Amino acid sequence: MPGPGHSTTTVRRLRPGDTAVVLGASELFPTSPAPEWVSDLLSSSTALLYWATDSNGGALGFLLASLLPLPDSVEVFVYEMGLAPAHPSGAGGNASASAAEISSALIDRAAAFAEDCACTRLWGVPRPGASLYDEGGAQVSSLDIPL
């Protein structure tokens, strides 16, 4: 449990009906997402949108992925991660979660889901204009975590 002056990062998977959550934090995305796109995404059975918030419910970041069924396994493919503007470099002060804490929490949650679904791998390459971060909060060109 974090002590005084330290953050608590909560991560949850967004579901249908959470469109307003995404639209209310458009600063996390390279461009503001369209309401129809968000609604369709959250209604998809293969889409995974994990959302990180601080103890006050403020948006800290997201991880967008998809279940990828293959002939011999199922994998989780990560398309994009976004961190709140104060966090990409790990800035934010004592009471704020670092980029490493946020990205690690997002990756851990997606990996736990993947393991629960007997997926064999969590991996990704960011789409053009998007970013991925490793568990240390550093921006990376690819992500590959065997499960």
For the stretch 24-79, pLDDT in tens is 998 898 889 999 999 999 999 999 999 999 999 999 999 999 999 999 999 999 98
- Gap between the Cα atoms of 92 and 26, Å rounded: 19
- Gap between the Cα atoms of 40 and 105, Å rounded: 25
Q: What is the CATH number for 113? A: 3.40.630.30
Residue 55 lies in a domain: yes
Residue 2 lies in a domain: no
The structural domain count of the chain equals 1
Residue 107 lies in a domain: yes
In this prediction the pTM is: 0.84
Residue 48 lies in a domain: yes
| Residue span of the structural domain in which 68 resides | 10-146
